[in-house]
Amino acid sequence: MEAQRRRAWYPSIAVVLAVTDVLLILLGTRVGFPKLLVWVPAVAGPALAFAAFRGAGALTGGALRTFWRRLSLGMGTVVVAALSQAIDVSTTRYSGMPPIGARTLLLYVIGTVLAISAMLRLPGGGRSWRQLTTAVLDVAVVAVTAGIAASQYVGWFIDRFGVSASAWWLNIAMMAIAVAGVVVVVKIMSARRSPVPRSALWWLAPVGLCGPLSTVLMSVLSPWPHLNGSAAVLPFVGMFGVLAAYAQRRAMTAGAGGAHPSRSLNPSAHRRGTAVPLVATGLTSVLLATVFVRTGHLTVVQVGGTALLLLLVVARQAVALADNATLLTTVAHQAMHDDLTGLFGRRYFTAAVAGARGPHTVVLIDLKEFRTLNDGLGPDAGDELLVAYASRLGGLAGDGTVVARLGGDEFGLLLAGTQSDVADRVVAANAEPLHAAGHEVLVDVSVGIAEGDAGDLYRRAELALREAMTGTGGSVIRYDASLERELTQRATIAADLRRGLTAGEFHMLYQPIVELPHGRLVGVEALVRWTRADGRVVSPADFIPIAEDTGLIVDLGAWIIDTVCAQAAAWQREHGPEALRSVAVNVSARQLLDPGLPDLVAGALAGHGVPAKLLTVEITETAVFGGGRALATVHALSELGVSLALDDFGTGHSSLGLLRTCPVDAIKVDKSFVDGLGGTPQQEAIVTALTGIAETMGLRTVAEGVETAEQAQRLFELGYRYAQGFLFARPLPPSAIDAMLQQNHHIAA
């Protein structure tokens, strides 16, 4: 950690060294100072880059670590070369251009070759033959452009320094450094995939210009012996190197070791490559125009190189256009097809439905419980299941049918004509299991069908599928006008529900829970009611499911919990803390998926001063049968100290194991079982069994829907001690419960 904190300062230090170098050069043209002064930032800059490269290697692994270590070896050699040149300058008498020995030149060349080797051995990712050809042509374009520029540079070099052995060695060293820059640029442009971040490669690119630039600066600064062209550029070599390593460090911190493969497949990555011929031809044009204006003619190398460059650019662009056409075809295919199954995608399917002429049939299919299967068997098995089902659909559909995966576990069929029997074939095929990751899986489906020649067949099929998925009308639903009316009604209720909640149109009624056999009030169940502003009463059976679907049940439930707690607190203040043993409130499956529900309940209890044990939260078996977040919420509620009751017990998944995994305190036996009392032993079997199970497990039992005295008597004989139903009272307003509590008080007195 300490080393990482130190490296965070490297970019700032490198910039300061570069700025210091510029200031020294500017000052050196005015006043004299020791020759070695300019070499302090010249050596410190590359040394800092060497340390930064080593640090980047330590942060990475694999090909990245190898790359940065090879690069650090090259930069370390440059540091040694800079020290060698500083020794040359300090031990040799000279006037004019500073000396540079053979040892120093050799070190510069070795460092450059090592850097080039690191770049060339950096993996660039797989390519198609067109992409490989484009990369080769890019290299050729840059090489020809560099050759044209090099011919002019060599001419200038000979005019300035002559053709001595030392001059030629210097020229070779500078050309090698320039080649390093060319290699970096070509690597950036041609690599389809690179583990090194593109930004890091771009920071390395200017390093190749420093060699030729140092030669130019040697000539410019020759009147001042204490200044040096190499010393002028080396701090910038260090700065660009440090910034490249910093780009790598930032990429690692962000969780991306380099160019992500998925990004490299983006078409824009290929379009950026067009900068190679544009930049090359632009620079060549500027260079040749400058030479022609100054000399009035062009050399054979320059003219021939320009002609070759134009041919390469034309060839490169031709290959790139062919590659782009292939890429566009691939993108168009991917846009219209599903990657996993190979079927058509939603976009193609909706377009095909919209463009259909004449009678057609649209069938939408949803795999039931797919999420549970996917979670239980794993995502790989889930994918295999989808592929297997797609293959089954393709076999069922026949020729001329559009088969599509619309997303997730939803599929679609578009058939010519009216073919209602296709749904029967789809359902019948599910009798055969599908094979997925070594498992044999039976799938069940919900199917929505719409037939006709109207343009909104897809929407109609969606309505039918939505109805089928609710499970109230069967697993196969065919669209008819009643679905449209129901949708309109549901939309109206949903809009009014939100408005009514804001306007205070909801109120609570409380149905008594009594103790058998005498019928004394011991608790209440809170029931929400809605009376619209126009006086019309909306049944809970109509608005509760809509509140569930729209998510408004969360807001409505929060209001109910707060209102019930406030009323419970009022009853306690009025009639004493022991007046009621339980005030029950129903919580829906959607509310149990809200992780904030326990905090909401805790806040309502604390806000109104209600003891947790007084509140009973009623849940259904179906809501918690699958476990997961809902069951975790139930455990959190139990930890608050509130009581938990399983409502409508026996009508849901009915797993007795649920009584062990779910921390319930009571079970409420559904009315459908109470109605069987007084009949045959078989009709009374469940009611009889449940009281025995509850007694053994220490649970309270409450019988719901008691309507006759005979039922109440029989329940008492079977061991039931609590009941509710119309025999005792219908749901009542708080004032009526007040009166019953007052009556209890008088009886007790």
Residues 580, 369: Cα–Cα separation, whole Å: 42
Catalytic center residues: 704
Kindly tell me the sign of the dihedral angle through the C-alpha atoms of 36, 40, 41, 43: positive
Residues 649, 658: Cα–Cα separation, whole Å: 11
Residues 643, 616: Cα–Cα separation, whole Å: 4
Kindly tell me the sign of the dihedral angle through the C-alpha atoms of 152, 157, 163, 166: negative
The tokens describing 444, both together, are 């069940």
Yes or no: say if 189 and 275 are a contact pair by the CB < 8 Å rule.
yes
Residues 230, 78: Cα–Cα separation, whole Å: 11
As a three-state string, the secondary structure of 331-374 is HHHHHHECCCCCCECHHHHHHHHHCCCCCEEEEEEEECCHHHHH
* Residue 265 CA: distances (Å) to CA of 63, 260, 336: 20, 9, 18
As a three-state string, the secondary structure of 564-625 is HHHHHHHHHHHHCCCCCCEEEEECCHHHHCCCCHHHHHHHHHHHHCCCHHHEEEEEEHHHHH
**CA 180, 181, 184, 185: dihedral to nearest 10 degrees?**
-150
- The DSSP bridge pattern shows strands 700-703 and 722-723 to be parallel
Q: What is the CA radius of gyration of the chain?
A: 41
Residues 20, 38: Cα–Cα separation, whole Å: 9
**Residue 747 one-letter amino acid:** I
The tokens describing 487, both together, are 């949708």
Closest CA to 521 of 749, 738, 735: 738
The tokens describing 277, both together, are 């011929």
The tokens describing 720, both together, are 């039931």
Closest CA to 87 of 222, 231, 218: 231
φ and ψ of 504, to 5 deg? 75, 35
* Residue 252 CA: distances (Å) to CA of 57, 216, 519, 631, 692: 11, 38, 72, 39, 63
Yes or no: say if 635 and 648 are a contact pair by the CB < 8 Å rule.
no
Closest CA to 166 of 207, 215, 231: 215
Residues 404, 402: Cα–Cα separation, whole Å: 6
Residues 46, 44: Cα–Cα separation, whole Å: 6
Kindly tell me the sign of the dihedral angle through the C-alpha atoms of 569, 570, 571, 573: positive
